[in-house]
Structure 1
Amino acid sequence: MDFSMWMISNYANTQSAILGLVVIVSCWALFRLQRRNADKLPPGPMGWPIVGNLLSLNSHVEELFAKWNKKYGPVCHLKFGSINFIILGSLEAVTEAFVKKGEVFNDRLHNTMPGFDSDSGIIFLSNGPRLKEQRRFGLSTLKMFGMGRKSLEPKILELCEDLCDELDPFAALREPVDVRPMICERISGVISQLVFDKNLPKHDDEFRTWTHVISNGTKYSGINMLTMFYPSLKIIPPFRWGAQETKRLELKGRRLLLKQIEEHKLTRDSKNPRDIIDCFMQEMADRESNATPDDHGFNDAQLLGMVRDLFLAGTETSSTTIYWAILFLCKYPEYQSRLYSEVDAVLHQRRPSLEDGNRLSYSKAVIQETLRMRPIAPMAVPHVANKDAEIMGYHIKKGSFVAPNLYRILHDEKLWSEPEKFDPSRHLDVEGKFVKHPSLIPFSIGPRQCLGMQLANMEVMLFLVSLVQRFSFEVPGVDEIDLRGKNEIVLRPHPYKVLIKRR
């Protein structure tokens, strides 16, 4: 065969292969569409065989999912491997799933995220009596030690003052500084007071380093998310490296937390509980002495898991929100000036208080606009359907992951005028009073709403007002910073340094 005939033959073979592939993919897509229609599955973008919609994902899935909800509707179906993934892009859809049908869409994924499991703690615990008992205990105990109440205020304000004192030398030198580690340390100090009855991050360098890592994530945080949908990836680099790094951090955290738990066992006074650990141990003792047949998870493993979850969720949410707020205030200095004017008019020279909340309307508006623009967990933690059910008339199969698309809801142009614009005044009425929008749900809703929501609101308000009362902030080159941030399950700002000036 001469060269020309060889070329013609191979070209024909290549054409045949491409045509065959197109036919196969087209038939598969048609089959999926017919099956979707037959099963009343929600609409959504077509994916590829085996991998599904994986190849469409990018570094800002919150924006991509928002586009898909806008195109396909408030209940959108995706496929990741064998997993059905449902994204809910409206308040109505989220309310139906997580409030009206909360008992159905209330499970969690099982042992697929590196470093976490569904056997202990609260965040990844599946639905049932155990979860309800643990949430009841967690919420009542947090309130006992001051969440949402004035009794916790002095401890938070002490940490606010401590943060401002650390920033003072940078203000004097006009030296740019990354404030995130300092904020993280103080926020974790609040959690530490509630859990350990002491500010452990201030006195234990190893514990402080661990809290910084869990708050900032690692270089593997993004790829770890994929292992939720493809657990087998954990044996393949770089996913294996991410799983190993997360496991190492988990073991380090476990060792640090167990040390504190063991100290509590030796020093606990059953009549005078000092903190959450003491209360949990007392609950364990009471159930054991009463021979309760089902302890609903009141055991050592659950105690460790709960303490871990309190630090993971409590440190990240508040510290990242404050970090975002400072960046937005530097981007829009006119809003920073207005915020300071309100703080000065209401407080003068005294420290802020929770009782000032009703008079600090613009401060609350800035915080709420920050949470609207950049929700910390834009897809929250996915729920799992524990049986076949429907959402807005669409069939949802048992085992489907169901996630609230908080980013879409908080950027829906039908709900928010110019949703991509940072504008605190949208949260004020004509008299300048703060008004909470019904669709403003950065902590999600339903039985699995963030347990520490009230604590986060307390912390962010007192810390931000304390900072603005004492300093003004400026970020050199702020216009060059990508304000979209980076999504590694948690939506964080890119690191930046701020110039601080004493007011």
Structure 2
Amino acid sequence: MEAVRVFLIAFLVVLLILYFWRQQRSLRTYPPGPLSLPFIGGLWRIGFGYREDTLIKLAKQYGSIYTLWVANLPVVVLSGFHVVKEGLVNHLEELSDRPLTPFFRVIGRGKGVALSNGHTWKQQRRFGLHSLRKLGLGKKGMESQIEAEAQQLVEIFAREKGQPFDPSMAITNSVSNVICAVTFGQRFSLEDEHFKKLIKAIDFVLTATGSFSQALYEVMPWLMKKLPGLHRKAFDASNMVLSLAKTKIEKHKEDNSYHEPQDFIDFYLLQMEKSKNDPDSTYDEENLAQCIHDLFIAGTETTATTLKWAILLLTNYPDIQDKVHKEIEDVLVSSSICYQDLKKLPYTNAVFHEILRSKYILLVGFPRQSTKDMNLRGFHIPKGTIIIPNVRSVLLDPQQWETPEEFNPNHFLDKEGNFVAREEFLPFGAGARVCLGEQLARTEYFLFLTNLLRAFRFQLPEGVKKLNQTPIVRISTPPQPYKVCAVPRHSP
């Protein structure tokens, strides 16, 4: 019996040595990085105290291109402006795919825009851009819808009568209602139960993405499918968003309104009819439902988080807030605001850009996957490798920004006070996968925030010296819950 025990232990040790030897041979193919240990890879260097700057610190030790093994999966991280730009722009085709890991296969289903690849992605993305333009993106029609929603938010804030309140849910609801108007052609009442469930579902999906539960699912999907956890809640929430989308699609088909299209669903149904005899068409109801799913999850969280950070920062920096308000009041005579007004407001433009830079709303850039073998700065990266472009490292790159860790609007101003566009400003990504809704997000951000700053001066609650600027770390990085006082600028 003792001999059997010794044999089994020796056999296990040999297996571990062989595993470790094979892993070390694989390491030679990839850029250097933390030592990869059996089963956990290089995750020991991260531990449980993951922070928003963890990958930036690893780059200081291992270089601007390094490999972080997640169990037995190699992930190559690109850091700093020059390397990220070279990867995303100079290797446009090689880095056009998304990695379809077990978790993201369930969430994305290989359809829609965000988590599809190849012909499906190209066709769905092209249609998305085309339909947004047809719906009036960049024109007065859509801006009027956004401004109407912004005025609704002003009214909600006004009900607080200058007392401390948490603006988070009201902001999320208003931003999500813009997506509702674009996709469904309608907005929801904030008290609508279906709308409340939709907002909760979006939050569930984002909370699970990047969680420990997701990490376990990626490594052991066969086991995690059978176990409860945050991943299961995320899948249920994702299905709920899809179910709502399909209900709205059926309603549009019943109304037969798509021959005079008014929203995204109408335009898509019309395209389906035009393409029904095309064997290469990917226009179908499954892709339409997934596109709506993607628009809600990406479009709600990004803009809402940006606005939450904007209010927090402007409350913490009242002098900057007052200077922005003064410029808006001095320059904008009309009560109505349009996106083109931003060109007349150099200081406001600089502040709004600096908010996006200093409080990047994602943990890192969305991952890519190499479509073929490629060479990047002397490193061979095999086909199928997951690549993380660390956009946060670009926006905090000390070689590009004078005071990267500080909230400093002068990053976007010249000595004469004119606004200066910066190529290092990449919060919407770059290359083939640059954010589909960038123009919509920029328009929402400007119109919502400008309307709010015209109406209120945001102040700290009594006894509070400063709002916490440490983010919550998940796939997105929203601020910690906070309360502010929205003090009316003018009497009714």
Q: Structure 1 length normalisation: TM-score?
A: 0.88
Show the counterpart of 2:3: none
Residues 204 and 234, structure 2, Cα contact 8 Å, conserved in 1: no
Letter in 1 for 2:479: P
Show the counterpart of 1:263: 251
Show the counterpart of 1:168: 158
1:496 aligns with 2:486: no
Residues 474 and 498, structure 1, Cα contact 8 Å, conserved in 2: yes
Shift of 1:369: 1.0
Shift of 1:60: 3.8
Show the counterpart of 2:108: 117
Q: In the alignment, which of 203, 214, 229 is matched to residue 241 of structure 1?
A: 229
Query: What are the Cα deviations for residues 346-400 of structure 1, in whole angstroms up to 9, with x where unaligned?
Result: 1256232222111122222122111111211231221111222221211112221
Show the counterpart of 1:465: 450
Q: In the alignment, which of 103, 116, 122 is matched to residue 132 of structure 1?
A: 122
Residues 184 and 215, structure 1, Cα contact 8 Å, conserved in 2: no
- Following superposition of structure 1 onto structure 2, how do residues 317-396 of structure 1 map, counting pairs within 5 Å? 317-348=302-333, 350-396=335-381
Classify 1:409/1:443 alpha carbon distance in 2 versus 1 (closer, same or farther; 3 Å).
same
Show the counterpart of 1:278: 266
Shift of 1:62: 3.2
Classify 1:79/1:486 alpha carbon distance in 2 versus 1 (closer, same or farther; 3 Å).
same
Shift of 1:30: 8.7
SS of residue matched to 2:388: strand
Letter in 2 for 1:245: K
Classify 1:301/1:231 alpha carbon distance in 2 versus 1 (closer, same or farther; 3 Å).
farther
Shift of 1:33: 6.2
Residues 384 and 399, structure 1, Cα contact 8 Å, conserved in 2: yes
Residues 233 and 240, structure 1, Cα contact 8 Å, conserved in 2: no
Residues 196 and 276, structure 1, Cα contact 8 Å, conserved in 2: yes
Shift of 1:147: 1.8
Q: In the alignment, which of 248, 253, 258 is matched to residue 241 of structure 2?
A: 253
Shift of 1:151: 2.4
Shift of 1:437: 1.2
1:208 aligns with 2:193: no
Q: In the alignment, which of 415, 440, 448 is matched to residue 455 of structure 1?
A: 440
Give the Cα separation in 1 of the matches to 2:434 and 2:202.
21
Give the Cα separation in 2 of the matches to 1:175 and 1:325.
19
Letter in 2 for 1:70: K
1:223 aligns with 2:212: yes
Give the Cα separation in 2 of the matches to 1:77 and 1:261.
43
Show the counterpart of 1:80: 70
Shift of 1:456: 0.4
Query: What are the Cα deviations for residues 198-246 of structure 1, in whole angstroms up to 9, with x where unaligned?
Result: 1135573312331254147676453344247424386289x74112111
1:190 aligns with 2:178: yes
Letter in 2 for 1:223: F
Show the counterpart of 1:4: none
SS of residue matched to 1:113: helix
Residues 315 and 321, structure 2, Cα contact 8 Å, conserved in 1: yes
1:67 aligns with 2:57: yes
Alignment: residue pair count: 475
SS of residue matched to 2:428: coil
Classify 1:494/1:384 alpha carbon distance in 2 versus 1 (closer, same or farther; 3 Å).
same
Give the Cα separation in 2 of the matches to 1:148 and 1:100.
29
Letter in 2 for 1:45: P
Show the counterpart of 2:411: 426
Residues 50 and 81, structure 1, Cα contact 8 Å, conserved in 2: yes
Give the Cα separation in 2 of the matches to 1:225 and 1:479.
37
Shift of 1:100: 2.3
Residues 59 and 487, structure 1, Cα contact 8 Å, conserved in 2: no
Residues 284 and 298, structure 1, Cα contact 8 Å, conserved in 2: yes
**Structure 1: stretches of 5+ with no match in the other structure:** 1-16
Seq. identity, %? 29
Letter in 2 for 1:230: V
Q: In the alignment, which of 446, 455, 473 is matched to residue 487 of structure 1?
A: 473
Residues 365 and 424, structure 1, Cα contact 8 Å, conserved in 2: yes
SS of residue matched to 2:402: coil
Classify 1:259/1:201 alpha carbon distance in 2 versus 1 (closer, same or farther; 3 Å).
farther
- Following superposition of structure 1 onto structure 2, how do residues 393-408 of structure 1 map, counting pairs within 5 Å? 393-408=378-393
Letter in 1 for 2:445: V
Classify 1:209/1:416 alpha carbon distance in 2 versus 1 (closer, same or farther; 3 Å).
same
Letter in 1 for 2:382: K
Query: What are the Cα deviations for residues 435-468 of structure 1, in whole angstroms up to 9, with x where unaligned?
Result: 1211110111011111000100000001111101
Give the Cα separation in 2 of the matches to 1:407 and 1:233.
33
Q: Structure 2 length normalisation: TM-score?
A: 0.90
- Following superposition of structure 1 onto structure 2, how do residues 24-63 of structure 1 map, counting pairs within 5 Å? 36-37=27-28, 39=29, 41-57=30-46, 58-63=48-53
Letter in 2 for 1:251: N
Show the counterpart of 1:13: none
Shift of 1:251: 2.2
1:102 aligns with 2:92: yes
RMSD between aligned residues: 2.7
Residues 23 and 36, structure 2, Cα contact 8 Å, conserved in 1: no
Shift of 1:67: 0.9
Residues 31 and 65, structure 2, Cα contact 8 Å, conserved in 1: yes
SS of residue matched to 1:78: strand
